[in-house]
Amino acid sequence: MNGSGEGLAAPATSGAAVSPLDWKFSQVFGERTAGEEVQEVDIISAIEFNRTGDHLATGDRGGRVVLFERTDIKDHGGHRRDLERMDYSISRHPEFRYKTEFQSHEPEFDYLKSLEIEEKINKIRWCQTANGALFLLSTNDKTIKYWKVQEKKVKKVCEMNVDASKYMENGSVASSMSSSSKPYLANEACKESPVSSPSNDSSFPSLHLPVVTSQETSLVARCRRVYTHAHDYHINSISNNSDGETFISADDLRINLWNLEISNQSFNIVDVKPANMEDLTEVITCAEFHPTHCNMLAYSSSKGSIRLIDLRQSALCDTHSKLFEEQEAPGSRSFFTEIIASISDIKFAKNGRHILSRDYMTLKLWDINMDSGPVATFQVHEYLRPKLCDLYENDSIFDKFECCLSGDGHRVATGSYSNLFRVFGCSEGSTEATTLEASKNPMRRQVQTPARPSRSLGSLPRVLRRGVDNSGADANGNSFDFTTKLLHLAWHPSENSIACAASNSLYMYYA
């Protein structure tokens, strides 16, 4: 595996070289026992930190969203509003715990097209928080949902002033009630009730209303809005705008702009569908809003190009303001050229200056002010070039690996086969190239996850190798396993901490 920044055209960031990080295992959720078979619905399909990094969300193929919250904070006064973050230099490492989960999507059937719509979560995006509530968007192939997760007080009936013995003289009433003086309450609790003196000579007691109290709190996820019927093809990405009011959703041929408050209307801002579908040469693979400029967004294509568009230019942005693509070397074209050039994921750097893209073979870093070519290229799968025929036969060549950048912009990361992921330094002069393997580590501390029906989350790593490896073998010298792949990962927005998913397991690393 070629780990150096081969083909480095120019430094991605200026300044002195940053020393390589020493990555360590932090936590694992959903660890499998030996020989346990993983259910298809439990495989993680999306992962995302929120803007502060205090919460992490994962989505799976079963349509479920699982939320985790950070725990390495100290309590002043015992009230939630007084919680103050610890100095991270004192904290051993970032720690998360299971918070809650909810069923976001269910399997559907499109009767007009006779098409099954699976519940798999394709993407999750966090929205702005308000009044202590968490908001997020999740999408499957066709439907986007806007969720609110908030602590609610659980209300219970604590007293019912009912005495069955008072009704015994009235046959009709007595026959309809139990002779027990412990009637069942509305909340299925049973409580001894005090005898109530009748207010008159009738056999009925005086009327008392039940008393309702709030005794505890629980997390409740509520679907606020459902955005649907806007895409003819599968939704591959969603992205929030920095204005906090709008977001985009993209499928193979179109990108739609939505207002968070309006679920029955969207605006088509990009349409690459040709008049004759036989003339179709490329499709949209991913779309992302600029992190600070609400009028700018970028989208990638199956031909390996990235287009930057400006919403101020026209209502329908079929023409781009900038095009980023790398010219192929003469004589290098083959049957697989277009397939491996297809971009599976793009991410803006936090400052908005750079765009990171992942195709099958490489990671590329682009400067939005320089469209002549990428400023850095990192070889991830060069060792697989002789195996492209086999990868095409077993469809592995179509695997869509995600990518991410560190908050400071000094490093980039992406996944690979055999549950490996790679971290590269992209600052000037950096040769950092680290490979980590998600696997069982007998020395690590066990993390308990609440028991949940038919699901589990995570098992984790054996740590790292550095440098170049062209052998096509893992850390133990075994050939790479193309059935195990690390497709989804996310970098903490402000710290050197990475969350990654392999199968049904969520792995956490820190440096």
| Closest to 85 (Cα-Cα) out of 72, 97, 102, 100 | 72
Q: CA of 491: how far to CAs of 30, 75, 476, in Å?
A: 20, 26, 27
Q: What is the pLDDT of residues 332-363, one digit of tens each?
A: 788 899 999 999 999 999 999 999 999 999 99
Other Cβ atoms less than 10 A from the Cβ of 334: the count is 11
**Whole-angstrom distance, CA of residue 77 vs CA of residue 83:** 8
At 393, give phi and psi (nearest 5°): -65, -40
Per the CB < 8 A criterion, the answer to whether 475 and 438 are in contact is no
Q: Which residues pair with 473 in a beta bridge?
A: 479
Per the CB < 8 A criterion, the answer to whether 396 and 405 are in contact is no
Residues 68, 92, 409, 12, Cα dihedral to 10° = -140
CA end-to-end distance (rounded Å), the chain: 22
Q: Which residues of 201-211 are buried (b: 16+ CB within 10 A; e: fewer)?
A: eeeebeeeeee
**pLDDT tens-digit profile, the chain (511 residues):** 444 444 344 444 445 556 888 999 999 998 777 677 889 999 999 999 999 999 999 999 999 999 999 997 644 333 444 344 444 444 467 899 999 999 999 999 888 888 899 999 999 999 988 888 999 999 999 999 999 999 888 777 776 666 555 545 554 444 444 444 444 444 444 444 444 444 455 555 566 677 777 777 888 999 999 999 999 999 999 999 999 999 999 999 999 999 999 999 999 999 999 999 999 999 999 999 999 999 999 999 999 999 999 999 888 888 888 999 998 777 778 889 999 999 999 999 999 999 999 999 999 999 999 988 999 999 999 999 999 999 999 999 999 999 999 999 999 999 999 999 999 998 888 889 999 887 655 444 434 434 333 333 333 333 333 333 434 454 444 466 788 899 999 999 999 999 999 899 999 999 9
Relative to beta strand 246-250, strand 254-259 is: antiparallel
**Whole-angstrom distance, CA of residue 186 vs CA of residue 215:** 16
Contacts of 277 (CB under 8 A, 6+ apart): none
**Whole-angstrom distance, CA of residue 345 vs CA of residue 356:** 8
SS3 track for 44-113: EEEEEECCCCCEEEEEECCCEEEEEEECCEECCCCCHHHCEECCCCCCCCCCEEEEEEEECCCCEEECCC
pLDDT at 165: 56
Per the CB < 8 A criterion, the answer to whether 224 and 148 are in contact is yes
Q: CA of 445: how far to CAs of 28, 69, 271, in Å?
A: 9, 19, 51
Per the CB < 8 A criterion, the answer to whether 486 and 422 are in contact is no
Do you know the residue count of the chain? 511
Q: CA of 124: how far to CAs of 93, 248, 301, 450, in Å?
A: 25, 13, 21, 22
pLDDT at 73: 64
Tell me which amino acid residue 72 is.
D
**Whole-angstrom distance, CA of residue 7 vs CA of residue 374:** 10
pLDDT at 16: 54
**Whole-angstrom distance, CA of residue 234 vs CA of residue 223:** 21
Q: What is the DSSP letter of 473?
A: B
Domains of the chain, CATH where assigned: 24-155+217-510 (2.130.10.10)
| Closest to 248 (Cα-Cα) out of 345, 121, 144 | 144
Tell me which amino acid residue 151 is.
E
Sign, CA torsion 266/267/271/276:
positive
**Whole-angstrom distance, CA of residue 312 vs CA of residue 306:** 19
490: its two tokens: 């996310």
318: its two tokens: 């079929």
Phi-psi domain of 347 (left: phi exceeds 0; alpha: psi -120 through 50; beta: other): beta
pTM score, two decimals?
0.78
pLDDT at 363: 97
Q: What is the pLDDT of residues 355-371, one digit of tens each?
A: 999 999 999 999 999 98
**Whole-angstrom distance, CA of residue 349 vs CA of residue 407:** 7
SS3 track for 331-387: CCCCCCHHHHHCCCEEEECCCCCEEEEECCCEEEEEECCCCCCCCEEEECCHHHHHH
